[in-house]
Amino acid sequence: MKIDFTHHQSAHCENGVVSNLMKHNGFEVSEPMVFGIGSGLLFCYVPLLMVNHAPAITYRAMPGFIFKRFANRVGIKIKREKFKDPVKAKARLDENLEKNNPVGLQVGVYNLLYFPDEYRFHFNAHNMVVYGKEGDTYLISDPVMETVTTLTDKQLEKVRFAKGAFAPKGHMYYPIAFPKELHLEKAIIKGIKQTCKDMLAPVPIVGVKGIRMIAKLIRKWPKKKGTKVANHYLGQVVRMQEEIGTGGGGFRYIFAAFLQESSKILGNQKLSELSKEMTSIGDAWRDFALEASRIYKNRSPKTDAYNQVADMLDVIADREEQFFKKLRKAI
């Protein structure tokens, strides 16, 4: 039972799953277009949610939101299911595969055996496609991997029912109806407006205000929490940025690619110019990650290192605030 499915590697799992499912169904939609229309770009500090013993920080919309928004904006119907019983979850997956219907799954990465050890930690918002089954082995198209891979039924069950924050609960999803053709223009504008609204939100933990809050906390952590905890928390900021689902810098590059592609579809040269600016902001995020990693790995030669990386975040927040105001005006 093997569906004729073409694997395309992507930078981020959810975008990649959606783009691959769209291509499988005859619609040539790029990963950046999925991300932009789905308003995937975000920053949010969630102090009450602990991940790996540190406050959660996300640089993207909540798991599932990208596909949901994308589908709504381009006129696709999707079906989502969660399960309490692993047996029922497996039966529903097998039923779809028998109908030649590849399925997107939300899984935990800690027990994904094909992941390198350094990437296997407790994070339950990873996405993949299952496109077939041979005996008790499932055929897996994980968009962040170069080639397709496999998991046994027991291995797949373990990651589908991982415990902890964002527990997937067997979550599976797949498109069930498509329009005759996709009209992207209005969907692009809606996606951009939502992203601007989110990043400029008057809420202290969201968007550019959230970035500034993290900068303030970084200055306080060494004295308030002690060096060991401060380093762990700072490592969390970078890990969420650079390792989990592409992260802050990578998401900015994807969004820049979306603006570049959208500028041609909408005939709006300003979006092309803003694409270059967002790429530069992505570079600034990567510079911050490099300096921060030197601190928590005890390699930074700077005595006032925490304040200096906090300064870098303040500059990024200022740049993103101006950027999203210009982007809002451009459309």
Closest CA to 107 of 40, 13, 29, 35: 13
At residue 108, what is the residue type? G
Both 314 and 290 in a single domain?
yes
Q: Is residue 48 part of a domain?
A: no
Both 256 and 274 in a single domain?
yes
Q: Is residue 2 part of a domain?
A: no
Mean of pLDDT over the chain: 92
pLDDT at residue 52 greater than cutoff 80: no
Name which of 13-22, 39-48, 172-181, 300-309 the model is least confident about. 300-309
Both 131 and 98 in a single domain?
yes
Q: Is residue 64 part of a domain?
A: no
Both 278 and 224 in a single domain?
yes
Give the pLDDT score at 301. Answer: 64
Look at the chain and count its residues.
331
Both 221 and 241 in a single domain?
yes
Give the pLDDT score at 91. Answer: 97
Q: How far apart are CA 301 and CA 149, in angstroms?
A: 43
Both 193 and 287 in a single domain?
yes
Last residue of a domain, one of 177, 211, 229: 177
pLDDT at residue 8 greater than cutoff 60: yes
- 159-182 core/surface letters (b: 16 or more CB in 10 A; e: else): bbbbeebbbbbbbbbbbeebeeeb
At residue 116, what is the residue type? P
- E strands, the chain, are 41-51, 54-60, 77-81, 103-107, 126-134, 137-141, 149-152, 172-177
Both 286 and 200 in a single domain?
yes
pLDDT in tens, 266-277: 999 999 999 999
Last residue of a domain, one of 162, 177, 192: 177
Q: How far apart are CA 211 and CA 289, in angstroms?
A: 14
Q: Is residue 134 part of a domain?
A: yes
DSSP 2-50: B--------SSHHHHHHHHHHHHTT----HHHHHHHTT-EEEEEEEEEE
The CA distances from residue 223 to 230, 278, 293, in Å, are 9, 34, 19
pLDDT in tens, 102-146: 999 999 999 999 988 877 777 788 999 999 999 999 999 999 899
Q: How far apart are CA 17 and CA 80, in angstroms?
A: 14
pLDDT band for position 246 (50/70/90)? Answer: very low
Is the separation of the CB atoms in 30 and 261 below 8 Å? Answer: yes
Q: Is residue 42 part of a domain?
A: no
Q: How many helices (H) and strands (E) does the chain have?
A: 11, 8
Both 139 and 203 in a single domain?
no
* pLDDT-above-70 percentage for the chain: 96
Output DSSP code: residue 145: S
Query: 315 is in which domain, residue-wise?
Result: 184-330
Task: Please tell me the pTM assigned to this model.
Answer: 0.89
Both 173 and 196 in a single domain?
no
Last residue of a domain, one of 140, 156, 177: 177
Q: Is residue 237 part of a domain?
A: yes
Q: Is residue 262 part of a domain?
A: yes
pLDDT in tens, 259-268: 999 999 999 9
pLDDT at residue 228 greater than cutoff 70: yes
Both 269 and 220 in a single domain?
yes
pLDDT in tens, 204-226: 999 999 999 999 999 999 999 99
**Count of domains for the chain:** 2
Output DSSP code: residue 206: B
Q: Is residue 145 part of a domain?
A: yes
CA pseudo-torsion sign 284, 286, 290, 295: positive
CATH of residue 102: 3.90.70.10
Both 194 and 301 in a single domain?
yes
Both 165 and 201 in a single domain?
no
Q: How far apart are CA 248 and CA 286, in angstroms?
A: 8
